[in-house]
Amino acid sequence: MFQIFVDPRFDFIGKRRWAYLASVVFILIGLGSMVAKGGLRYGIDFSGGTLIQVRFERAVPVERIRTSLERIQMGESVIQEFGDPREFILRLPLAETSAEAVTRRVQEALAADQALGKAEIRRVEFVGPQVGRDLQVQALYAVLWSMAGILIYVAIRFDLKGGFASIAAIVHDVLVCLGAMSLTNRELSLPLLAGLLTIIGYSVNDTIVAYDRVRENRGKGLRKGQPFANQINAAINQTLSRTVLTALTTFFSTVVLYLFGGKVLEDLAFVLTVGVITGTYSTVYIAGSLIVDWTGWMEGRWRARKKLVAKA
């Protein structure tokens, strides 16, 4: 197998305090952005409303389109350029009961403004308020059930500590991705939810590879007598080439998708790219470090209890 690192001996566990600090800073910045903006921005899939993609025969300013829509009193709408100064995405709040009614009113408003020229409706998506709320609940269940499944699987295959450390690493990755979405003003939509679930699977897969190596080393007696932190460090180093190669190939694919996949796939590619980076980071610095600290804390409690029993 091709190896990037030959017999690496990086002290990842020894640097875990700095890694914890960096993770807390990243997560707090993301949460701060979400709080400052009133929470995550939900797309049409979750908030309900109408999305209309429209293309004009020539470039037009956003304010001109907004002025035209204000005449039909559709409420506060969001207008975004869509990869071309002639093409736009219109996100309209729920004001009508059907996509046809909204589309007809928008077409009439745009046609009435001669300065905009001819407008072609290319895509219409409509989600009712109840469907949006149902999707929010189902999305939450999907994330929670996936985490519960991973916890059970890792706890059975390895131990409960490994299961909770894996879940903590996953929560870390999801929070970093949600923070990055908030900082870049991206909406949470169904494709992005699929991206987050993909990241969950990717992150836990890398973590399990390192756990497997710890168990293999114990089975061979190669690390017998060594401190637990050294065993984890050795396992991460032994699987480092595999982890980095997997991350790089996935990273290049998601970057290409981001650059050339078009506006429809841009947000999904962005989340996957951030997820690959933070998933690799959490595998190397977070998951194993949490097990080491948990084990150290349990051993400290056991020794303290033993001393109390001896004094009694």
Is it the case that residue 32 has pLDDT exceeding 80? Answer: yes
pLDDT tens string 54-68: 898 888 888 888 888
153 CB contacts (<8 Å, ≥6 apart)? 163
Distance (Å, whole) CA 257 – CA 272: 10
CA atoms within 13 A on the CB side of 133: 2
- Whether residue 90 contacts residue 106, with contact meaning beta carbons closer than 8 Å, is answered with yes
CA nearest to 60, candidates 144, 123, 130, 116: 116
Helices (H), the chain: 16-36, 44-47, 62-70, 99-112, 129-157, 160-183, 190-220, 228-238, 240-260, 263-281, 288-311
Q: Is the pLDDT assigned to residue 45 strictly greater than 70?
A: yes
Q: How many Å apart are CA 168 and CA 239, to the nearest integer? A: 21
184-228 pLDDT per residue, tens: 988 888 888 888 888 888 888 877 888 888 778 776 655 556 788
Place of tokens 């993909």: 198
Residue 95 has what pLDDT? 57
What pLDDT is stored for residue 181 in this prediction? 93
Q: pLDDT digits over 81-130, tens only? A: 877 888 888 887 765 567 788 888 888 888 888 778 888 888 888 777 67
